[in-house]
């Protein structure tokens, strides 16, 4: 075997150094939606996010824990994978960690999770791991649900036929979890076991042995996974050539993939499934009856739109009192600062720069918390997986892979993890196409901008009993999804051509949401928002305040002009004002003035900075008393020199559409550059999204004026 191959494929079964030299390594592996991360959280005491769809874990996560009579171990949570033959980014991470490739140490033991209610599907991955002869504990999760469904599993018989210990647990309730670590300790001290007695056809064995690899399981893996000339970088061209030759010379009754997979499923059906007895049969389960409505092609989608509309209307009506409290606290803090600090540049910086800038974003924290809470409840109940199923029918028609819904769903929180979640897709074309449209989904950074404009320009109660605010916000979400799908259809037929592949998604049973899990998810997402408020937004606020505060007007000129006129002139002549006026000819056709232009400049660092910038703009140069007026009221009162209002409903709608489509997030562009390993794609993303935003905003504003709406 060549040196290159030794770097690519390890020779199993090879064990690491003794435990006294390093912590033992135990990996947790399983198909998506088997409760893998929930079990990891219980074992390690961590607070990882838990979700009911593939792609939640896209990188391995580890925790060091002490195991009695063994010492410290590194417990590693790997991304979900249905098999070891996958080619997606997340599946490759799992395979690398399990096979000890690409810098990973070989695991000393593996905990393979299976859904006890769907064993016939999940045992395939367990067989692949057991074939590697690594000490393995097969963990049947959701044992409580299996019992409720009348599923009786003979653990002793299943363990004997697999040749590995089998335990039943419920990560949700904690049932049986306390016994796992002692079993894992025994696993680390146990001798390696023989592989399951799967009867492969002689032609398969001959093809595997022709690869001259140190372990037949590795050869079977290579036959299914290594492909010469694929879109991915070939790890070992010599091995890929041998695999191609072995596949070409295969003379079995069926193709080699079907022969290998068929032999494994034959073993499952013939030897393993008799250990599973279903005491109840006939009739549809509660999940099936609910799904008859929620995944219906027409009723399911209609109910989804209704649920989203109610959710977004609730963001206004339920969080408005809390927003008022936060606004009062920030106003009181600004007043207290002005009372303590002497008049001058320091007072302006702290009160009008820091407090007004960052505070104008923090006032929307109650809405963001509520949004994450409601989405978390839908995720943990299993409903989000149904939405993925519904959306797949639409996405296939525009050339997107069904798994693209996972990053698009993540994009509603933040586009950066959404870009990372594209690793769930196998093909480069699918990943890149999804990355090019994910930033079009409405992320939480846009929420402060939308809620500010909607609350300011479409006050509640002005339209009778019609929930205009909620409908507008829901409409922006629907608009963002629709534009993303159209963009995918165009890009998928031009820049990124390719064939479609079907979505393989297992729908979980409905469950009551776990409040502690939802709370952790809500806090993790909110913490990201607060971290940005404390870093990116704060830094941008300071820069923008400096741009708007300098050059300083002389005291003599300020006295000659008077307070209000001096403030307006000072803002207009500042560096930031000059930048806004420089781009005003380009944005005036969209209905924007130069002050909005200043906000757009700041928003290209991060979208929510627009709100902070407006807080600084109107805190520095506003002609309204800052101590008694909110930013929403200042926006309503802003007028041109001739008395016309700057912000009209048409201008607000044009501005929201611009924010929906423009790529105003440097972090997203950096993530795309990292994932594509090229500057070409982030530049293309920025250019096409900004051009699309300008054209759509132009069409809306000018079309509205032509119809007499402006």
Q: Which is more confidently placed, 181 or 502?
A: 181
Give the mean pLDDT of the chain.
77
For CA atoms 469, 473, 475, 479, the dihedral sign is positive
Average pLDDT over residues 399-428: 69
The answer, yes or no, to whether residue 590 has pLDDT greater than 90, is yes
Give the position of tokens 């989000």: 384
Out of 378-387, 509-518, 693-702, the most confident range is: 693-702
* Predicted pLDDT at 492: 84
* Predicted pLDDT at 505: 59
Q: Which is more confidently placed, 161 or 637?
A: 161
Given pLDDT bands bounded at 50, 70 and 90, which one contains residue 695? very high
* Predicted pLDDT at 15: 45
Q: Which is more confidently placed, 546 or 123?
A: 123
Given pLDDT bands bounded at 50, 70 and 90, which one contains residue 628? very low
User: Which percentage of the chain shows pLDDT scores above 70?
Assistant: 79
Out of 150-164, 316-330, 526-540, the most confident range is: 150-164
Residue 197: CB atoms within 10 Å: 9
- Please write the tens of the pLDDT for every residue from 188-221: 766 666 778 888 999 999 999 898 887 888 888 8
The answer, yes or no, to whether residue 57 has pLDDT greater than 70, is no
Given pLDDT bands bounded at 50, 70 and 90, which one contains residue 409? low
The answer, yes or no, to whether residue 319 has pLDDT greater than 80, is no
Residue 435: which residues within 8 A CB-CB, separation 6 or more? 407, 419, 422, 672, 675, 676, 681, 685
Mean pLDDT check: name the lowest of 334-348, 364-378, 533-547.
Answer: 533-547
**Residue 307, exposed/middle/buried by CB under 10 A (0-12, 13-18, 19+)?**
middle
Coil, helix or strand at residue 107: coil
CB 222 within 8 A of CB 209: no
Average pLDDT over residues 516-543: 70
Q: CATH 3.40.50.300 occupies which residues in the chain?
A: 3-189
- Please write the tens of the pLDDT for every residue from 349-373: 887 767 766 776 677 678 777 777 8
* Predicted pLDDT at 376: 76
* Predicted pLDDT at 56: 45
Using alpha carbons, select from 516, 291, 285 the residue that is nearest to residue 382. Answer: 291
* Predicted pLDDT at 657: 94
Question: CATH code for 3-189?
Answer: 3.40.50.300
The answer, yes or no, to whether residue 273 has pLDDT greater than 80, is yes
The answer, yes or no, to whether residue 323 has pLDDT greater than 70, is yes
Q: Measured between alpha carbons, how far is 333 from 627 in angstroms, rounded to an integer?
A: 10
DSSP annotation string for 662-698: S--BHHHHHHHHHHHTSSHHHHHHHHHHHHHHHHHHH
* Predicted pLDDT at 79: 81
The answer, yes or no, to whether residue 495 has pLDDT greater than 60, is yes
Tokens of 61: 């996560």
Q: Measured between alpha carbons, how far is 594 from 587 in angstroms, rounded to an integer?
A: 8
Average pLDDT over residues 142-158: 87
Residue 203: which residues within 8 A CB-CB, separation 6 or more? 250, 251, 252, 256, 259
* Predicted pLDDT at 622: 37
Given pLDDT bands bounded at 50, 70 and 90, which one contains residue 16? very low
* Predicted pLDDT at 543: 79
The answer, yes or no, to whether residue 110 has pLDDT greater than 80, is yes
* Predicted pLDDT at 227: 66
Using alpha carbons, select from 669, 689, 546, 527 the residue that is nearest to residue 613. Answer: 546
The answer, yes or no, to whether residue 658 has pLDDT greater than 90, is yes
* Predicted pLDDT at 499: 58
Out of 43-47, 229-233, 651-655, 705-709, the most confident range is: 651-655
The answer, yes or no, to whether residue 508 has pLDDT greater than 50, is yes
Average pLDDT over residues 602-606: 71
User: Which percentage of the chain shows pLDDT scores above 90?
Assistant: 13
The answer, yes or no, to whether residue 312 has pLDDT greater than 80, is no
Q: Which is more confidently placed, 55 or 74?
A: 74
CB 401 within 8 A of CB 425: yes
Indicate the helix (H) or strand (E) that contains 469. Answer: helix 468-493
Coil, helix or strand at residue 137: strand
Residue 137: which residues within 8 A CB-CB, separation 6 or more? 109, 110, 111, 112, 164, 165, 166, 167, 180, 183, 184, 187
Given pLDDT bands bounded at 50, 70 and 90, which one contains residue 625? very low
> DSSP letter at 645?
B
180: Cα separation from own chain's centroid: 30
Residue 673: CB atoms within 10 Å: 17
Q: Which is more confidently placed, 77 or 684?
A: 684
Sheet holding 136-141, edge to edge: 61-67, 71-77, 24-29, 109-115, 136-141, 166-168
Given pLDDT bands bounded at 50, 70 and 90, which one contains residue 6? very low
The answer, yes or no, to whether residue 386 has pLDDT greater than 70, is yes
* Predicted pLDDT at 665: 76
Out of 67-71, 109-113, 666-670, the most confident range is: 109-113
Average pLDDT over residues 669-687: 86
* Predicted pLDDT at 44: 78
Using alpha carbons, select from 490, 505, 498, 309 the residue that is nearest to residue 390. Answer: 505
Our separate counts of H helices and E strands in the chain read: 34, 8
Q: Measured between alpha carbons, how far is 335 from 382 in angstroms, rounded to an integer?
A: 47
* Predicted pLDDT at 691: 94
* Predicted pLDDT at 624: 32
* Predicted pLDDT at 3: 35
Q: Which is more confidently placed, 206 or 183?
A: 206
């Amino acid at each position: 075997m060549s040196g290159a191959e030794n770097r690519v494929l390890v020779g199993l079964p090879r064990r690491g150094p003794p435990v006294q030299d390093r912590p033992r390594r135990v990996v947790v592996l399983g198909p998506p939606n088997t409760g893998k991360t929930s079990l990891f959280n219980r074992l390690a005491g961590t607070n990882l996010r838990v979700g009911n769809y593939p792609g939640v874990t896209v990188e391995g996560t580890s925790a060091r824990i002490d195991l009695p009579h063994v010492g410290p171990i590194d417990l590693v949570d790997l991304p979900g994978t249905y098999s070891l033959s996958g080619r997606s980014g997340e599946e490759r991470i799992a395979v690398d960690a399990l096979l000890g490739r690409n810098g990973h140490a070989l695991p000393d033991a593996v905990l393979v999770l299976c859904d006890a209610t769907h064993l016939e599907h999940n045992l395939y991955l367990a067989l692949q791991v057991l074939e590697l002869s690594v000490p393995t504990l097969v963990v049947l999760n959701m044992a409580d649900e299996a019992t409720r469904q009348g599923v009786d599993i003979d653990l002793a018989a299943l363990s004997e036929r697999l040749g590995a210990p089998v335990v039943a647990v419920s990560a949700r309730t904690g049932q049986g979890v306390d016994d796992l670590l002692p079993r894992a300790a025994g696993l680390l001290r146990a001798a390696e076991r023989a592989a399951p007695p799967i009867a492969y056809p002689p032609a398969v064995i001959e093809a595997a042995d022709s690869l001259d690899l140190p372990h037949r399981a590795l050869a079977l893996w290579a036959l299914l996974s290594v492909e010469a000339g694929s879109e991915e970088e070939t790890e070992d061209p010599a091995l890929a050539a041998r695999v191609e030759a072995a596949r070409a010379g295969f003379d079995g009754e069926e193709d080699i993939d079907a022969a290998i997979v068929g032999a494994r499923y034959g073993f499952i059906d013939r030897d393993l499934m008799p250990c599973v007895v279903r005491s109840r049969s006939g009739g549809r389960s509660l999940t099936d009856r609910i799904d008859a409505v929620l995944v219906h092609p027409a009723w399911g989608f209609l109910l989804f739109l209704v649920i989203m509309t109610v959710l977004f209307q609730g963001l206004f009506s339920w969080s408005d009192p809390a927003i008022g409290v936060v606004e009062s606290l920030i106003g009181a803090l600004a007043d207290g600062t002005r009372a303590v600090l002497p008049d001058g540049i320091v007072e302006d910086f702290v009160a009008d720069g820091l407090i007004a800038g960052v505070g104008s974003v923090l006032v929307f924290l109650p809405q963001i918390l509520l949004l994450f809470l409601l989405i978390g409840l839908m995720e943990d109940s299993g409903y989000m997986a149904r939405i993925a199923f519904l959306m797949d029918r639409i996405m296939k028609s525009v050339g997107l892979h069904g798994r693209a819904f996972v990053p698009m769903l993540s994009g509603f929180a933040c586009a950066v993890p959404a870009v990372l979640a594209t690793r769930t897709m196998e093909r480069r074309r699918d990943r890149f196409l999804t990355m090019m449209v994910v930033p079009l989904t409405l992320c939480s950074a846009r929420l402060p901008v939308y809620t500010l404009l909607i609350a300011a320009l479409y006050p509640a109660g002005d339209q009778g009993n019609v929930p205009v605010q909620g409908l507008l916000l829901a409409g922006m979400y629907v608009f963002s999804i629709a534009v993303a799908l159209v963009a995918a259809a165009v890009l998928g037929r031009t820049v990124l051509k390719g064939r479609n592949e079907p979505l393989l998604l297992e729908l979980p049973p409905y469950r009551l949401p776990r409040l502690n899990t939802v709370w952790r998810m809500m806090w993790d997402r909110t913490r990201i928002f607060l971290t940005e408020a404390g870093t990116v937004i704060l830094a941008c606020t300071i820069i923008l305040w400096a741009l708007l505060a300098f050059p300083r007007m002389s005291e003599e000129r300020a006295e000659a002009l008077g307070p209000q006129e001096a403030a307006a002139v000072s803002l207009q002549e500042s560096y930031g004002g000059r930048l806004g006026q420089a781009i005003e000819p380009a944005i005036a056709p969209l209905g924007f003035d130069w002050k909005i232009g200043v906000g757009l400049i700041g928003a290209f660092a991060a979208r929510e900075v627009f709100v902070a910038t407006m807080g600084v703009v109107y805190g520095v140069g506003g002609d309204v008393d800052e101590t008694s007026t909110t930013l929403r009221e200042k926006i309503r009162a802003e007028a041109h020199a001739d008395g016309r209002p700057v912000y009209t409903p048409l201008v607000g709608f044009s501005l929201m559409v611009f924010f929906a489509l423009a790529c105003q997030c440097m972090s997203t562009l950096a993530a795309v550059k990292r994932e594509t390993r090229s500057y070409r794609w982030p530049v293309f993303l920025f250019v096409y999204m900004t051009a699309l935003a300008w054209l759509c905003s132009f069409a809306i504003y000018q079309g509205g004026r032509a119809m007499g709406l402006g």
